[in-house]
Amino acid sequence: MGVQTYSAQQRRAVNLIWAAAGEYGFEPKFLAMKTDGTPDFYMNFVIGLVYKWFGRDMLERLFDSWLGDVRQAVMDDLAWLALESAVYQKELPGRPALEELRQDHAREFFAMEYQTSRQEWMARNQLVYSMQAARWKNVLGKPDRLVTPWDKGLYRALCCGDVSGEELEQALRACFRKYLGFDGKVRTKAELRLHFDNRRWIAFMTKMAPTELVRTDDLAIGRAAHAGQAGLVRAADALRSMLRSNERAEADRAYIQRCFGRSMYAPKQLSAIEQQRCTGNHLGCRLWFTRGDPAADVPPSSDSQQLYEQAAEQARLNRAAYAENSELYESALLRLTEQIRNCMLVHQQPEAVTARQGWVDGARVWREPVLGDDRVFLRQDQEPKPGFSVDLLLDGSASRLHCQETIAAQGYILAKSLLNCGIPVRVTSFCSLRGYTVLRVLKEYGDKQGERRIFDYFAAGWNRDGLALRGMEELMQSAPAEKHLLLILTDANPDDSHRIPPNGKNPISREYDGKAGVEDTADEVRDLRRRGIRVAAIFMGEQDSVPAADRIYGKDLARIRRMDQLAQAAGRLIQDQIRELAN
């Protein structure tokens, strides 16, 4: 592509690259452009420094080694983090002003996070985002907040320091082999076929989100065109064509079934449920209820097999994290159980049961002479019966990727505490993908020892909270008690890729996020309460989401920041609900 084919903004980017490289006239393999079409000053400068310190051959050899691979965009962005670290260390001694430029870029990164809608932000690859956020937090002198050893290991591997081009190339190949399972062989995929990285569920989630997977506010890097093509090849453009074909309903249904398991309902029954529930703000959306069982009539595929392996790995991590912190978690479980039991003793009336002694039950007296049944008396059962059931709903969307082990532990502690007190409890996780809101039942009311399956929890995709609540109302029709409590573990950030359709009040379709998502979820909570269902939430999210949580759940909300606060906060919330249900 000749220089004359660049736009004015692209020429600015090229000039920045040339200035940093100290060489003019060559065609850069990459440009760094922001979402508004303006050049990213610092990252274009970094691109130029890479040419200066490592040369064109190394750069092309490195990136061409995974050109066309299903994880190309992820490896591109992670590689640029490593390159940025290396050239910064090399250039800083002779260019002290680079430190301030780097800090300005870091501040701009987080400023754009607040300016960009949450739907756009969460559309970015979450593995890439977590590594970028950690880098720029460290640049600003802040902790990176990476939690898992896997994340920390990958982050360290991308901080290459002052190394030669050959050393950097070898380090990146070793990094991608260890953390992404990339052995140097390019793996391509057919349209709509998604690849799941070998080590982490986090990468799977971002591959299956039906939207572009590149950061548009920081490093939306375009590759130079191949021979015979004009202009920059942008990842966003390639993915938009996939979005159009992504509307094939049958392919979507098959994909959801492969990913999450067969439906709990027959097709006609599910269709009737959707006709009733997928209306208004959720018109055009779909529902999928599953226990995670694979469909017998659907042959296994390589992607689904790898998916199950990834799910098993996350389940192992969940169980390992609980075992590692068992002393803290078991203490919370015992304290929460005691709080619930004490509240039930005070507020639940003992139930009269048949017995061989007590006071005579006139309706049963005939049984003794006729049937020889001497249980013709009534007595008060010392163990109070709850008279209500609990549905525990776990947010299983991508925004919870960083705390999957914590949420699994919270779900287990809450469910086990309720079960210890004789309260029927079901546990369900939810996420949304390709227009489907998926409700995955981890534990049914009647499952004996079924609470261990809660550790099969994983996070992926989006979260259309309002439709998930409608789906839960459908599930609660099978509850074993007349009174119901729906307890939700949430970050109060409803966010889905499918827009809210236009209506009489809003003639233009809207994104399902921000205020619109919060209002829709709040409306569904109010509707459930009008139908006699108690709805409460345990909030473990960011400070800026507190107003949204208050708006949605009102006073029936407990906020926790750490696991050691769970027993006290959840205990107080559940006690309040028991008192209300006892009236």
The answer to whether residues 290 and 264 touch, using CB atoms and an 8 Å cutoff, is yes
Query: Beta strand 425-433 with 483-490: parallel, antiparallel or unpaired?
Result: unpaired
- The secondary element (H helix, E strand) that includes residue 342 is helix 326-347
Residue 269: its pLDDT value, please?
A: 95
Q: How far apart are the first and last CA of the chain?
A: 75
Q: Give the whole-angstrom CA distance, residue 109 versus residue 116.
A: 11
- Structure token pair of residue 529: 């309460």
Residue 247's φ and ψ, nearest 5 degrees, are -85, 0
Query: Beta strand 352-355 with 534-539: parallel, antiparallel or unpaired?
Result: unpaired
462 residue type, one letter:
W
Q: Give the whole-angstrom CA distance, residue 285 versus residue 506.
A: 18
290 residue type, one letter:
T
Q: Give the whole-angstrom CA distance, residue 172 versus residue 532.
A: 57
What share of residues in the chain are helix, strand, coil (percent, to 5)?
55, 15, 30
Q: Give the whole-angstrom CA distance, residue 347 versus residue 581.
A: 9
**Closest of 308, 311, 310, 260 to residue 287, by C-alpha:** 260
The helix-helix angle for 72-91 and 165-179 (nearest 10°) equals 140
Q: Give the whole-angstrom CA distance, residue 135 versus residue 156.
A: 10
Return all residues near 108 (Cβ < 8 A) that are at least 6 apart. none
501 residue type, one letter:
P
Residue 374: its pLDDT value, please?
A: 72
Q: Give the whole-angstrom CA distance, residue 428 versus residue 409.
A: 14
Q: Give the whole-angstrom CA distance, residue 552 versus residue 546.
A: 10
pLDDT tens for the chain, 583 residues long, are 333 345 677 788 888 999 999 988 788 888 888 766 778 899 999 999 999 999 989 988 999 899 888 888 889 989 999 999 999 999 999 999 999 999 999 998 888 754 444 444 444 567 888 899 999 999 999 998 888 889 899 999 999 888 999 999 999 999 999 999 999 998 875 433 333 334 344 444 443 433 232 222 222 222 333 323 222 222 233 333 333 333 457 878 888 898 899 999 999 999 999 999 999 999 989 999 999 998 877 776 666 676 778 788 999 999 999 999 999 999 999 999 999 988 887 755 556 667 666 666 667 767 777 677 777 666 665 555 678 899 999 999 888 888 899 999 999 999 999 999 999 999 999 999 889 999 999 999 988 778 899 999 998 889 999 999 999 999 999 898 889 999 999 999 999 988 898 877 777 888 999 999 999 999 999 999 999 999 999 999 888 899 999 999 999 999 998 888 888 888 889 888 888 877 6
SS3 of residue 76 by DSSP:
helix
Burial of residue 155 (number of CB atoms within 10 Å: 0-12, 13-18, 19+): middle
In whole angstroms, how far apart are CA 457 and each of 103, 312, 454, 464, 471?
A: 38, 10, 6, 18, 18
SS3 of residue 486 by DSSP:
strand
Return all residues near 324 (Cβ < 8 A) that are at least 6 apart. none
**Closest of 172, 163, 153 to residue 88, by C-alpha:** 163
Other beta carbons within 10 Å of 243: 12
Q: Which residues of 322-336 are buried (b: 16+ CB within 10 A; e: fewer)?
A: beeeeeebeebbebb
Return all residues near 314 (Cβ < 8 A) that are at least 6 apart. 201, 404, 457, 458
Return all residues near 111 (Cβ < 8 A) that are at least 6 apart. none
Q: Give the whole-angstrom CA distance, residue 559 versus residue 490.
A: 10
The answer to whether residues 179 and 150 touch, using CB atoms and an 8 Å cutoff, is yes
SS3 of residue 389 by DSSP:
strand
Q: Which residues of 348-366 are buried (b: 16+ CB within 10 A; e: fewer)?
A: beeeeeebeeeeebeeeee
Residue 80: its pLDDT value, please?
A: 94
203 residue type, one letter:
A
pTM here is 0.57
Any idea of the CA torsion for 411, 417, 420, 423, to the nearest 10 degrees? -80
Residue 223: its pLDDT value, please?
A: 30
Burial of residue 247 (number of CB atoms within 10 Å: 0-12, 13-18, 19+): exposed
